[in-house]
Chain A
């Protein structure tokens, strides 16, 4: 299949699938629906009508929605070249890493194996780790040893050394996240197609930029890490937050100076964000904006496919939040906060907001 034909096919599939995206503007409308109406609308009526606890229903809904996303992923990666497929699958591998984190947390807290199993996502072979082998381990050290025999060997070796020295989950999880973003950033630079490369840099770069800014603010000012330690946890982005910029930013002494030194449009975006949650909300919307832009105006099939998957994931998260809020009978204010429809406030102010 020629490159043009491949992109034409992929673009057609993406265009057809993009018609089912909900978008932020329709979320308000959906947030007015009752639980049965939502179940009907998203084809989850059977799951919601099954007898069971709120928790089990919520898990079933979440699992069902992830399956929807992964089914889309399976269809879209089929016509891609190995490098492109590798990049998109690397993006989706976050669900495997969620599972890994669940396993690690479960093992650290010595939870019942059944409880850990119930919290694992059921993933297709393309993106999953060998969960069963990992699940059979009886301690964190054994789990990390087991992980060393798989594709995450380097991460596991470092993670184990960190865990043996510090005995804490934070360093482990930070290493896992850091490795995830490094991997997708590295794969973008390996794409041969210049057009795909440019759009993909913007798209993946926005995700890496978001993670970098949040980590920078959190590690440097909330956890009080030294500039060198903070820099080590960050990932040079293929877009705005490149290596030298990160080196300059981590050396600054307070949050205001960091935000003032950010490149546009990030500086304006975060100028008056008064807490980390609000920064996160705005950065997420910035990422969705770029994804929407690539989906609407992009030419590269693979970049549009990834943009679609990012937006689809957001949609499914919205759906899950809506259903979860109905299951838990949360007030509308909480729902708006959770959906990001109203500016974020600190958690201890939520009660006042309600």
Chain B
């Protein structure tokens, strides 16, 4: 659980004709992480023929775009088979036609939207004209000497268009603005050629608003005409929807086929960067968990027609940064693993901090938010919203349970002390003890972080860094010496000779190591070594004090609830009930958020920043796409 799975580097040598089948088998096992590094052997070169990849990419793009218009069914992967180039090209060509169809319908919808928008603009324009004493019929009629255009233009083009029209001998009058458009009337002397004006209006994005026939009719008649037009647009839209749905049904089987073919072709395409060839031979390099290797070999043996070779070896030291780390798969730890992943992936060989993170997170969260009632509400809410929260609901349930556990220890139910006798004590009864315990917890946490740092450095074969590096053995000796001395000072009034000796020796060792590793003028060396040594002392002191917040928040929780209950006691019955309900909601929301942030801060900055390099690579094995992309 703490250590990542052992990995092996494998090289699979197959005949070129077996490559697609080998890719499929590797994808089926879900245990092969491709290694795209160029091989040291000069004879192995990347594959030259990229037709398969190109066909796949185009087809995949088309299918994804189609999925935005009509639902694309899941691939049917009951039969795992090799997809040849001809079949892929045929599916791609069909997808091209299907996309053209979708595009045509998308354009149809857009045209309807445009007509609806134009109708709206027309209604707005007529409503505006209705307030003026203007003969609209005269505006519509053809003039002998006057050229008249009524329409809309994007607002930001109005000033430029006005200037340009002035040069063309026309006037622009803006009479209304709606959303991003300006409604304008353009008037000028009639010119039958009009190419200059047309070009100008087109460049400015001018859209004419057609004035309807019979403008001298009653307003009700015109409005009825516009309603009919609006109904017609909606009918056409419904028809188009129906047409798309019918076509989608007709295309269903072909879409299943296309989706299946692409899912089966994908492993070969994904593997492409890791494939190298020499003549008829092809080589695929990758990483496989050691425990999965026998199964992989057995499956390859069963599926490949021609002989093959599967060589495996342990990762070399220089390859360690490249080896992928298999993530934690435990269901309970999944949400915590997601939080760890936010910080980074453990490097291969390092301790996976997920389990430790989970335990320490729950301990600190419970301590800072210890209340049976609040914990129960938190856990219950997480459970009720489990569908929306996905796997993250476990995080809420466990955090709630932790709160309940500490609530039992502190004897607190929604802030009431009387309902449940404390198994231990309320944090407010002895704040000094709580602060001392928090400091003790901090010392334990930081010491553990140093031990993990030392282990991780040794695991990646960096012994000098394990001893002298930040948070290494010497740092730990210094820290424990400092803690010993501080405890001794508090209890006996004297720091003690042995702790003082340990602290001084450790600091001297660190200073000497830093001195030896620095290449700078002597003055700069002195300055840097002094500052770095001082930083070590201050760093450990402040980091330990940082854990006081664990006690502070547990006391804060009790104090806040006392305030709520005191305020409730000062009110009448109704006011008291409201105060208790809303006070509890306020405390729960406020503290749940703040405590989570504080615990995450302690984990990330006091813990992870010490022992977790977080620059590893996640194990992402080749696999078949079982589900379609979201529509």
Q: Which residues of A contact B (CB under 8 A)?
A: 113-114, 136, 138, 142, 145, 154, 157-158, 161-162, 165-166, 171, 175, 226-229, 231-233, 236, 243, 246-247, 250-251
Distance between Cα atoms of A165 and B54 in the complex (Å) = 33
| Chain B 565-618 residues near chain A, CB threshold 8 A | none
Smallest beta-carbon distance B370→chain A, Å? 41
Contact B204 A232 (CB under 8 A): yes
- Contact yes or no, B164 A228, CB < 8 A: yes
Contacts of A243 in B (CB 8 A): 159, 163
Chain B residues positioned under 8 Å from A247 (CB to CB):
163, 166-167
Contact A154 B163 (CB under 8 A): no
Alpha-carbon distance between A154 and B167 when the two chains are bound, in angstroms: 25
If A145-B106, A228-B166 are given as contacts, then 18 extra A-B residue pairs at C-beta distance below 8 Å, sorted by A number, are A136-B61, A138-B96, A154-B205, A226-B196, A227-B167, A227-B168, A228-B168, A229-B200, A229-B203, A231-B164, A232-B161, A232-B164, A232-B200, A236-B160, A243-B159, A247-B163, A250-B167, A251-B167
Q: Does the CB pair A175–B203 fall under 8 Å? A: yes
Within 8 A of A (CB), among B141-159: 154, 156, 159
- A228-B200 contact in complex given A158-B205, A247-B163, C-beta closer than 8 Å: yes
SS class, residues of chain A in contact with chain B:
helix
Most buried by A among B54, B159, B200, B203: B203
Q: B36-68 CB contact bits vs A (8 Å, 1 = yes)?
A: 000000000000000000100010010011000
List of A residues within 8 angstroms of B167 by Cβ: 226-228, 231, 247, 250-251
Assembly CA distance A142 to B100 (angstroms):
10
Q: Write out the residue numbers on chain B whose beta carbons fall within 8 Å of the beta carbon of A228.
A: 164-168, 196-197, 200
B298–chain A nearest beta-carbon distance, Å? 39
B99 at interface, CB cutoff 8 A:
yes
Bound Cα distance from A166 to B106, whole angstroms: 22
Cβ contacts A to B, 29 pairs, < 8 Å: A113-B58, A114-B54, A136-B64, A136-B65, A138-B99, A154-B156, A154-B180, A154-B205, A158-B204, A161-B202, A162-B203, A166-B202, A171-B203, A227-B168, A228-B164, A228-B167, A228-B168, A229-B196, A229-B203, A231-B160, A231-B164, A231-B167, A232-B160, A232-B164, A232-B203, A247-B163, A247-B167, A250-B167, A251-B167
Most B CB within 10 A of own CB, among A138, A171, A243, A247: A138
Hey, which chain A residues are within 8 Å of B165, CB to CB?
228
B154 touches which of A113, A158, A162, A171 (Cβ 8 Å): A158
Min CB distance B568 to A, Å, is 45
Measured between beta carbons, the chain B residues less than 8 angstroms from A113 are 58
Which residues between 286 and 323 of chain B lie within 8 Å of chain A, taking CB atoms?
none
A247 to B65 Cα, complex, angstroms? 46
Is B163 a contact partner of A157 (Cβ separation < 8 A)? Answer: no
Q: How far is the CA of A145 from the CA of B58 in the complex (A)?
A: 19
Instruction: Tell which of A114, A157, A158, A250 has the most Cβ of chain B within 10 Å.
Output: A158
Chain A nearest CB from B169 CB (Å) reads: 9
Which B residues are CB-close (under 8 A) to A138? Answer: 96, 99
Is there contact, CB below 8 Å, between A226 and B168?
yes
| B202: A residues at CB distance < 8 A | 161-162, 165-166
Encode contact with A along B164-181: 1 for CB under 8 Å, 0 otherwise: 111110000000000010
Binding site for A on B (CB under 8 A): 54, 58, 61, 64-65, 96, 99, 103, 106, 110, 154, 156, 159-161, 163-168, 180, 196-197, 199-200, 202-205
Specify which chain A residues have a CB less than 8 angstroms from the CB of B168 in the assembled complex. Answer: 226-228
Cα distance A250–B204 in the bound complex, in angstroms? 18
Q: Given A154-B180, A158-B154, A161-B205, does the pair A229, B65 have CB atoms closer than 8 Å?
A: no
C-alpha spacing A113/B55, complex, angstroms: 12
Q: What chain B residues lie within 8 Å of A232 (beta carbons)? A: 160-161, 164, 200, 203-204
Q: A154-B154, A158-B154 are in contact. Are A231 and B163 (CB under 8 A)?
A: yes
Provide the bound-state CA to CA distance between A165 and B195, in Å.
13
Find chain A residues with CB under 8 A from B156 CB: 154
Task: Closest A residue to B199 by CB, please name it.
Answer: A229
Smallest CB-CB separation from B58: which chain A residue? A113
Ranked nearest first, the 3 interchain pairs of A and B with the lowest CB-CB distance are: A228-B168, A228-B167, A232-B164
Contacts A158-B205, A162-B203 given; does A229 touch B164 at CB 8 Å? yes
A-side contacts of B154, CB under 8 Å: 154, 158
Chain A residues near B164 (CB, 8 Å)? Answer: 228-229, 231-232
Among A154, A157, A229, A243, residue most surrounded by chain B Cβ atoms (within 10 Å)? A229
**Separation in Å of the B297 CB from the closest CB of chain A?**
37
Cα distance A232–B199 in the bound complex, in angstroms: 10
Task: Across the interface, name the chain A residue whose C-beta is closest to B201.
Answer: A232
Bound-state Cα–Cα, A12 to B166, Å:
49
A142 vs B110: C-alpha distance when bound (angstroms): 12
Please give the distance in Å from B584's CB to the nearest CB on chain A. Answer: 40
Q: Which of B65, B96, B156, B163 has the most CB of A within 10 A?
A: B163
Q: Which residue of B lies closest to A175 (CB)?
A: B203
User: Given the complex, which residues of B lie within 8 Å of A166, measured CB to CB?
Assistant: 202
Complex interface: chain A residues within 8 A of B65 (CB): 136
Q: Which residues of B contact A251 (CB under 8 A)?
A: 167
Q: How far is the CA of A247 from the CA of B196 in the complex (A)?
A: 16
Interface centre among A138, A142, A232, A236 (most CB of B within 10 A): A232
B351 CB to nearest chain A CB (Å): 34
Looking at the assembled complex, report how far the CB atom of A1 sits from the nearest CB atom of chain B, in whole angstroms: 24
- Nearest CB of B to A341, in Å: 38
Cα A161 to Cα B106 in complex, Å, equals 17
A246 to B180: give the CA distance in the assembly, Å.
Answer: 26
Distance, CA A236 to CA B65, complexed state (A): 41
Chain A's closest residue to B170 (CB) is A228
Bound: A157/B65 CA distance, A: 21
Chain A residues with Cβ under 8 A from B64's Cβ?
Answer: 136
Residue of B nearest to A114 (CB): B54
What's the least CB distance linking B151 to chain A, in Å? 13
Q: Give the docked Cα–Cα distance between A113 and B92 (Å).
A: 15
* Cα–Cα, bound, A157→B203 (Å): 11
* Residues of B close to A161: CB separation below 8 A: 202, 205
Q: Kindly state the separation between the CA atoms of A171 and B198 in the bound complex, as whole angstroms.
A: 14
Contacts of B199 in A (CB 8 A): 229
- Complex CA–CA separation, A219 to B524 (angstroms): 64
B contact residues around A236 at 8 Å (CB): 160
Q: Which of chain B's residues have a CB closer than 8 A to the CB of A175?
A: 203
Which residues on the A side are within 8 Å of B180 (C-beta)? 154
- Distance from B326 Cβ to chain A, minimum over Cβ atoms (Å): 30
Residues in B whose Cβ lies below 8 Å from that of A226: 167-168, 196
CB distance from A167 to the nearest CB of B (A): 12
Contact in complex: B54, A142 (CB < 8 Å): no
Among candidates B61, B99, B205, residue contacting A157 with C-beta atoms closer than 8 Å: B205
* CA A145 to CA B154, docked complex, whole Å: 18
